Amino acid sequence: MESLTNENAEKTSQENRVTSTYEVAMEKLSSLITQKKRDGTSPISDLEKRDRMLKYIEILGLEKHTGDLKIIHVAGTKGKGSTCAFCDAILRECGFRTGLFTSPHLIDVRERFRLDGLDISEEKFLQYFWECWNQLKDNIMEGLPMPLLFQFFTLLAFKIFASEKVDVAIIEVGIGGTFDSTNVIKNPVVCGITSLGMDHMEILGHTLGMIASQKAGILKPQVPAFTVPQPQEAMEVLYDRANKLMVPLKVVAPLDRKKMLKDGKLSLSGDHQFTNAALAISICKSWLKTTRLWQPKNADWEETLPDAFVTGLSRAHLSGRAQIVHDDSIISTSGINESYLGGLIFYLDGAHSPESMEACARWFSTAVLENKNLSLSSSCFKNQTPKRVGVDGCIPPGDSQESFKTSKILLFNCMDVRDPQILLSRLVNTCASSGTHFSKAIFVPSMSAYDKVTSGTSSIPSNLHQKDLSWQFNLQRVWGSIHCEKDVHVLDHNPHMATSGNVPLCKFLFEDASSCSEGDGNGIGSSAVFPSLPSAIHWLRNCVKENPSSRTQVLVTGSLHLVGDVLRLLRK
């Protein structure tokens, strides 16, 4: 017994040491964050940054290793992460060891580095982190400081994938393409460009053609490349660049779900995912043909997807994109599955461009409709005895959707460089066209610190209630003007001094807001500003518990930081 106690104590001590070392690594990473503005101003030029990346690769001895990696390189405005996740899942099902590098991370930095579909372990992360950090630190000099944060992440990804001897490295571009840190890749096996739109204009340019030119910067001479249908202005730029480099660029049509998939469904929700899936299929087929490492059992794989592809498309995962989470804290208080009988359900989809917000709105509208139809059709009997067990999909006679008051709530934040008028208008109008309407909107400040890299175990900041809420009150004003179709002026609530007690009563969540009149406290009819995200989540949970006959469906969108923060809080 004493031996077992000692073993447990030693294990706990070791875990604490790893956690402590991990937090030190987070502090080191935080030191690489620059205060560069989103207007693109920087003390060094893009060409200088690229030259430095090549020197860092030389210091780490990665020149040959990066050349040996069989890389898939993906750029684009929308759908990069989803396309990469599909590629990763497909090639794993084909039997390959995969490495996946994506951004941003939502909860823990290790999410950026996946091996065989799983986040890299803390032990391996720390091993490769310190190897890279110490080598670079020992070689900095005048004119060659430590890398910028995303440069370091990219170098670390190359180090991990080369050391782990992955069969394929799937690399997602950070921003743009031409001058992105990942674009030191000289000989990828295949490149992909996802849907293009207006985003990061202050860095990439203010026209779709300029943005397309930056994305096309990842194309390499005679390396196969694929894209999806694009606006004409963007398509012309892509074709022009491809022709100059003698690149066989092919445009991929969206996936025919009935023809190609057994049940017509993908693991990632939303109609736009059929476009991303089709691109991933073409990329993977090209990679397999070029490397000649795998042959499908069915020879005619142009018309019929190999089973490994179908399975991969059904197993790909990407947190914070079209993700539905049932709040465990609510479910655990009842003996039923709240997905059928009320409860608190979070629909999470980071969307910070107008096009992404429209896709988010379509997905949310479809998802809540499917949830409603599932509830209405789920009544069933076993031995003529109704059961209330959600896993059986059963609802007693008389229990239907009408028995539960459903509220659709928007939980939103975005960076102040975004235009909330465009984003919120696109969201509201797209949802309304499908018959989906929000009864309330909640605006919260960011919980994450933009100047600090955190882990999943990092403590929640203690000063959350001291944040300046002026931007959130501006979002509320915009919402009021859209929701009520008239200008709404918010009373001066002294946003700098907001306190945890400054929240609405629970009846606010369920009352009719159709009058668009100014409410009490910090809610104006259909909206409220909360001093912090934890206080908003706590309030939602309490209100739903006080009203067991309610179903509250919360769409969390806008900033991916907000999505990550919500996921982090729901885990605790």
Residue 418 annotated as part of some ligand binding site: no
Q: What is the largest CA-CA distance in the chain?
A: 80
Radius of gyration of the chain (CA): 25
Q: Angle, to 10 degrees, between the axis of helix 560-571 and the axis of helix 533-546?
A: 60
Rounded to whole angstroms, the Cα distance separating 94 from 289 reads 13
- Which is it for the CA torsion 233, 236, 239, 240, positive or negative? negative
Residue 200 annotated as part of some ligand binding site: yes
DSSP state of 141: B
Rounded to whole angstroms, the Cα distance separating 34 from 146 reads 11
Residue 172 annotated as part of some ligand binding site: yes
Rounded to whole angstroms, the Cα distance separating 101 from 554 reads 30
Element (H, E) at 263: none
Rounded to whole angstroms, the Cα distance separating 424 from 26 reads 34
Q: How many CA atoms lie within 13 A of 351 on its CB side?
A: 28
Q: For residue 18, how many other CB atoms are within 10 A of its CB?
A: 14
Locus of tokens 């049509």: 253
- Which is it for the CA torsion 212, 218, 221, 224, positive or negative? negative
| The residue type at 399 | D
Determine the straight-line distance between the first and last CA of the chain, rounded to whole angstroms: 32
Q: What is the DSSP string of 291-303?
A: HT----SSS-TTT
Asked whether the beta carbons of 202 and 39 are under 8 A apart, the reply is: yes
Residue 349 annotated as part of some ligand binding site: yes
Asked whether the beta carbons of 425 and 361 are under 8 A apart, the reply is: no
As a three-state string, the secondary structure of 67-107 is HHCCEEEEECCECHHHHHHHHHHHHHHCCCCEEEECCCCCC
Element (H, E) at 198: none
* CA-closest candidate to residue 503, choices 470, 465, 453: 465
3-state secondary structure of 523: strand
* CA-closest candidate to residue 129, choices 102, 148, 103, 110: 110
Asked whether the beta carbons of 210 and 204 are under 8 A apart, the reply is: yes
Residues placed in the known binding site? 103, 172, 200, 321, 349
Residues placed in the known binding site for ATP? 321, 349
Residues placed in the known binding site for Mg(2+)? 103, 172, 200
